Structure 1
Amino acid sequence: MPCCFSLYNSGARADEAAKLTVGDLQLGVSPSVRLHGKGNKFRICPLWPMTATSLTRLVADRDKNEAVFLGQTNRPLTRFGIHRLVTQYATMASKTVPTLATKRVSPHTIRHTTAVHLLRAGVDINTIRAWLGHVSLDTTHIYAEVDLEMKAEALARVDISGLREPPRARPLPSLMAFLKAL
């Protein structure tokens, strides 16, 4: 479960989580994670205390060069292993949340959810871009375009009490009537 918390908390890609080492975690006073993303770029994301506590237990007494997420054989998980974990947890969760049974849940779904929840919380789009490690703001704008619920809420805040329905247009004469009048 620490893997799923970490994915949601940081918006990490599956590959970024797979490459995560114990040394990339700062679990003290201001907990954070250093992610190695696309284009060999690094970014730092803050962690909730709950995530930090979970990760602290997971990496206790481990070397800083070890992978954070290990499989049953104590070997580092690959991005495919992380994907498998996420789908297994989604299947387990669908027993309590039946709507999940019809959805395809992947690490990218969790990443997308992070972005949408940050957006709904009022976080500005440039901060979300940095959080997700996007180079271009255009990539991040996809999340702003996708959220129909936010658009509906914005529409509900618009005061239309002073608007009137436009007058009905008079019917236009038919083409035959026009031609006969010539």
Structure 2
Amino acid sequence: MDYLTKKELEAFLKQINIRTKNGYKHYVIIALLYESGMRVSELINLRVDHLYFIGNSPYIKILGKGNKERIVYLNEDIVSMVTEYQSKFNIQSGYVFRNNSKKQLTRFSINKIVSKYHNLAKKECPTLERKTISPHSFRHSKAVHLLMNNTALPILQRFLGHASIQTTEIYLDITNDEVKKNVTSVASLIDIKEDSNAVWQGDEKLIELLERLSQ
């Protein structure tokens, strides 16, 4: 399965127009899929009473495979975004994410959202042309990024909700390949420059929050 680099993830998020209500909802969905490492089924079944945002250690309670619960702590930025989303859509109880008819979002709906922005992001980030990106790719990407940041396997196993650490060990092969790729292609990075022309749409406070989240 393909995963997104930080640069690709940033290009993906930049395609979402957060000035619209649905655009803001889409951004929160993608950001939460990545930040929490949730499966799609876990996201669409997330309920308001699974959000514990009071106190210094905000977290969500996720009901995973086999009805096993796990806790995932979130940073303040994503908590602020989810809280703002709840306010915009008046989500006070029941499922957190709903369609325009106020019914629970489906796996198909999430796939459609991801596909839309993947197609847009390909124009800005050519490496995305060669990748198959699905909602699960954000969970996959988070796992790879955590391992690259030297997160211990048992911690990653708990974060992802894997029943067996052998499942988590699959990511070791991915990160080893990535290390080899980076070491052998250092020279090609010399000419890479960040795009300074990209501009977020929305108020300044929200722009600052979103920029921190995508780092």
TM-score over 0.5 for the pair: yes
Q: With CA pairs under 8 Å and 6+ residues apart, which has the higher RCO, 1 or 2?
A: 2
Q: Could you state the TM-score of these two structures normalised by the residue count of structure 1?
A: 0.77
- Provide the residue aligned with 1:10 in structure 2: 36
Letter in 1 for 2:166: D
1:152 Cα shift? 6.2
1:55 maps to 2:82: yes
Tell whether the 8 Å contact from 1:32 to 1:45 is kept in structure 2 after alignment: yes
1:115 aligns with 2:143: yes
Structure 1 residue 149: Cα displacement: 1.9
- Aligned residues between the structures: 154
| Contact 1:18–1:69 under 8 Å retained in 2 | yes
Q: Which moved more, 1:101-110 or 1:120-129?
A: 101-110
Identical counterparts, % of pairs? 36
3-state secondary structure, aligned to 2:166: helix
SS in 2 for 1:94: helix
CA shift at 1:153, angstroms? 6.9
Residue 157 of structure 2 aligns with which residue? Answer: 129
Supply the distance in 1 between the matched residues of 2:183 and 2:65 (Cα, whole angstroms): 34
What is the alpha-carbon root mean square deviation over aligned residues? 1.9
Task: Return the match for 2:178 from 134, 149, 155.
Answer: 149
Q: 1:104 aligns with which of 129, 132, 139?
A: 132
TM-score between both structures, scaled by the size of structure 2: 0.66
Residues 124-172 of structure 1 show CA distances to partners (whole Å, capped at 9, x for unaligned) of 01111010000000000001112212356799xxxxxxxxxxxxxxxxx
Superposition map of 1:142-181 within 5 A: 142-147=170-175, 148-150=177-179
Give the greater-gyration-radius structure (CA): 1
